[in-house]
Chains A and B, each alone.
Chain A
């Protein structure tokens, strides 16, 4: 039978999505559903002194206005072991528990009405009076501080150092030292965040947009002070999230409170504008990178200092500088990470959080160093290849970065790159070539999955995982098909429900390596049960045959020798034994390999840009990426992940920025007309190659994960190409006509 893993099959949930049959959280219709709309603050800091809801309550159909004045006091426990998706210091917003306001756009009241229109109108009629106080709305690097110890010990240390980077820098033959800025950016998934909460007695069902149903259940249980067993969270489809649905946001709990108050199922959806303050975002970050090298381009010193904004009530922090500690071979490396507290809503992970930011600065700096050395930027990177992880002092579990460089350079035609900036022209435009290295840590968490094999020859796999778009449904189906030896169309996969076996967060590119191995383990365990069944004295078709003589192959139990006796397909086996189905559940988790190896996905991205020097417009006709993502379960959906990441990278490079008005502490372009993301016309040819790779050191399936890596490296490759086209070095994202024209 043909191997299912590695086949470019189309997504198994595609037909349902195209036909509108895939039900997203906001589309469930529990009986008696009513609507809730948030009222949000207009000051950055201070207290609510009064809420006048009299006009709102007069709007026909309004059932309640909930605020700190009348909301139940909730225990809002913090779990002892904080969920991986939550900041490690400070506390999340406790909605409607007091009059304090921490940022502009904070939910301060909730209006519930029979219709969305009624709730919307009434929300606009709620009058909130404030006693404003001074808040911090300016990003001030000088006042930044190191992370809290609990943040530091969770992989975001304030400083790391090996060797003596500053001394080595001072002595280096060639040096560059520059500052790079990245603005606040927003996920802007097409599906807004929406929660439907329905109580049945003291049992709560939540239909929610989430990348982690188990976390939703845990956090809501802690906030409300009820047991997790009283809560079920359902989230079969997610319409894009990019990290925005990793955490359980305050509005989820607000929906649960509201539904309990009005004794009806409540649907709470954030408006597009509310998505800029009701969930998180990629924090504004400023970075300094200093590189020192000898005349041959060998790195002697690397200094990377980053400062990011964070909320005053809660300390979100990123791994911005971590890549720099292991990206290149260098004896002297120092990193620093600091946080600037502001009156803002808490930032949160957005595709490749921290890493994409750090790589933007590092890979731009490497290009600057190549210029200073008068060396080909690709050659500079090859000379500094890190053949092991010099930070953790571990070998890589696999590393095909050099193959990525070769494959992408070849496909791109890097040898045609003009040596001198500003010398290549096409159609009146300046043409430039640029490249960047990219990497993203490969991680894995414990996960469980169950398998049921049915008498009709089909199988159903289940795990409380999520599919925010990358293709979990499809890739897990392929893993199960391969393991069970059944055709893909005989396999079903269910996810997104807390009633299913526990799965880790659908983030950090870990789903394939975590849930995939659990699915594999579950298939193995059901196979051993099938063999037991086949050997069962009396009823089994292979009664009396030795265990070692039987195998599962091609969807059937058969003799290992293959020669003697017939193969019994699973369905037939169950029928013969009078069973309708056979279940098994299993668990997979990382082991000692975590202590022995460093694991990472790698890649190389090459960009061609065309710059209209007169008008300052920049277009990207071509991106070429080659990636080492371990074993590729489905090249078609893996490619989709990569081109999605590339498009995100084009947005980061050229378009995306929250316009921040510090006087009001508010994002001013909080809608999709003015917050620009790429449209089709901004996307040229996207070429994706996966180099041969299979990382069994990291996990039995050999996969590393692909999602976040694909956005990393794109912005610096584009920026480096702009330099090659124009001789202008842009260090502040996004690279706009305003920046290009400004001297």
Chain B
């Protein structure tokens, strides 16, 4: 850990004004402190954004809006989330531990850094940390690394559970920055690593996530979040899947199916959605659709086992959402 300056931003404008050039935000700090302590980040200044009034959950026009600084525990427990967007509560209740959820914020969760073992060990080369230094995960301890969306420079998994659920709800982000406010789809937030894995999102330096918006049009869908992990609790996903379905009887009108824990960013599965469209949901249909879930996967020998796991996780999530045994 290196010394840094600490400042508390009184409002969004001040936070943005001070950000960029060696300054980074700290919200709940549950990831940032790890990054600092392990010497993975050494910002000159930490801008504490906890004083900003970006908390709370409420209806705003055609969406349910969640302030970016709302704690995960509060989001998970909120009646409107539980009743109308239960996939979010399920993803959050499977996130970290109760103690971490009491500190961690929605914005921080989406921007937490990967758990790739090489990224997390400052003595190791890592293209994310030190562009051009290499990616030892390609031929190293990669049992849990990405099978989808990777490149020769990076196969790090995006670890957020919440982001996976939010993509399945077509959520939008409200972003404040030096150039004003903009809105993007959550699905567009994270970039593929390509040859620049150190650039993880489309956020410009100094931009702040201020809110997440869940479209009311996506409320009340049948849904499920299935998370596979070694431990029964307190572990990032080794595979997960969020499903939201719009059904007419048992026939699929629309679906959003998103995989987590297996890809370099939340991984939407349009081919599975297409295979389900207009179909009556029964076990064989689900199985057949889920078989396509790992299309395009490029596993390493160490993580090839995740290919069948992903297919099964997707099948399980669809069946659970649809109530098909």
Contact = CB atoms under 8 A, between A and B. Distances in A.
Contact of B141 (A668, A738, A742): A668
B234 A661 contact: no
A121 B2 contact: yes
Residue of B120, B123, B232, B309 with most chain A CB atoms under a 10 A cut-off? B232
A563 interface: no
Q: Chain B contact residues: over half helix, strand or loop, or mixed?
A: loop
Given A654-B230, A661-B136, A679-B233, A615 B143 contact: no
A619 B3 contact: no
B39 interface: yes
A617 B228 contact: yes
Contacts of A273: 38, 121
A676 B231 contact: yes
Interface in B226-241: 228-235, 238-239
A105 to B, nearest CB: 9
B140 interface: yes
Contacts of B315: 614
A322 to B, nearest CB: 31
B8 interface: no
A674 B117 contact: yes
Given A614-B312, A661-B136, A664-B124, A676 B230 contact: yes
A528 interface: no
A61 to B, nearest CB: 11
A389 B228 CA distance: 46
A120 interface: yes
Given A669-B117, A741-B305, A664 B230 contact: no
Interface in A671-687: 671, 673-674, 676, 678-682
Contacts of B139: 663
Interface string B272-284: 0000000000000
A736 interface: yes
A660 interface: yes
Contacts of B231: 655, 676, 678-679, 681-682
Interface in B97-149: 97, 115, 117-118, 120-121, 123-124, 136, 139-141, 143
B316 A615 contact: yes
Contacts of B120: 671, 674
Q: How large is the interface on B (under 10, 10 to 19, 20 to 34, 35 or more residues)?
A: 35 or more
Contacts of A741: 305, 308-309
A670 interface: yes
Contact of A117 (B1, B118, B238): B1
A661 B141 contact: yes
A668 B117 contact: yes
Contacts of A659: 117, 141, 143
B312 A674 contact: no
Contacts, number: 89
B313 interface: yes
Contacts of A72: none
Contacts of B312: 614-615
B98 to A, nearest CB: 11
A466 interface: no
A679 B141 contact: no
Interface in A608-626: 614-617, 619
Interface string B165-209: 000000000000000000000000000000000000000000000
Contacts of A681: 231-234
Nearest to A661: B140
Contacts of A614: 312, 315-316
Contact of A121 (B3, B140, B230): B3
Interface in A112-127: 117, 120-121, 124
Q: How large is the interface on A (under 10, 10 to 19, 20 to 34, 35 or more residues)?
A: 35 or more
Nearest to A105: B123
B230 to A, nearest CB: 6
Contact of B228 (A674, A676, A678, A737): A737
A680 B139 CA distance: 34
A42 interface: yes
Nearest to A683: B232
Nearest to B235: A676
Contacts of B308: 741
Interface in A630-662: 654-655, 659-661
B28 to A, nearest CB: 16
Interface string A221-235: 000000000000000
Contacts of A742: 305
B140 A663 contact: yes
Nearest to B307: A741
Nearest to B118: A668
A615 B234 contact: no
A716 to B, nearest CB: 19
A42 B125 CA distance: 12
A614 B139 CA distance: 28
A615 B141 contact: no
Contacts of A121: 1-3
Contact of A663 (B136, B232, B235, B313): B136
B309 A737 contact: yes
Contacts of B228: 615-617, 737
Contacts of A668: 117-118, 121, 124, 140-141
Interface string A575-619: 000000000000000000000000000000000000000111101
A664 to B, nearest CB: 7
Contact of B305 (A42, A666, A738): A738
B123 to A, nearest CB: 5
Residue of B3, B34, B235, B305 with most chain A CB atoms under a 10 A cut-off? B305
Contacts of A617: 228-230
Nearest to A271: B37
A659 B121 CA distance: 13
Nearest to A680: B233
A614 B120 CA distance: 31
A670 B124 CA distance: 13
A670 B121 contact: yes
Interface of B: 1-3, 34, 38-39, 97, 115, 117-118, 120-121, 123-124, 136, 139-141, 143, 228-235, 238-239, 305, 308-309, 312-313, 315-316
The 7 nearest A-B residue pairs measured at CB: A681-B233, A681-B232, A668-B117, A659-B141, A668-B141, A738-B305, A679-B234
Interface of A: 42, 117, 120-121, 124, 273, 614-617, 619, 654-655, 659-661, 663-664, 666, 668-671, 673-674, 676, 678-682, 736-738, 741-742
Given A42-B123, A617-B229, A681-B233, 17 more contacts: A615-B228, A615-B312, A615-B313, A615-B316, A619-B232, A659-B117, A661-B141, A664-B136, A666-B121, A666-B123, A668-B141, A673-B115, A674-B115, A681-B234, A737-B228, A737-B305, A738-B143
11 contacts: A615-B228, A615-B316, A661-B136, A663-B139, A668-B141, A679-B231, A679-B233, A736-B230, A737-B305, A741-B305, A741-B308
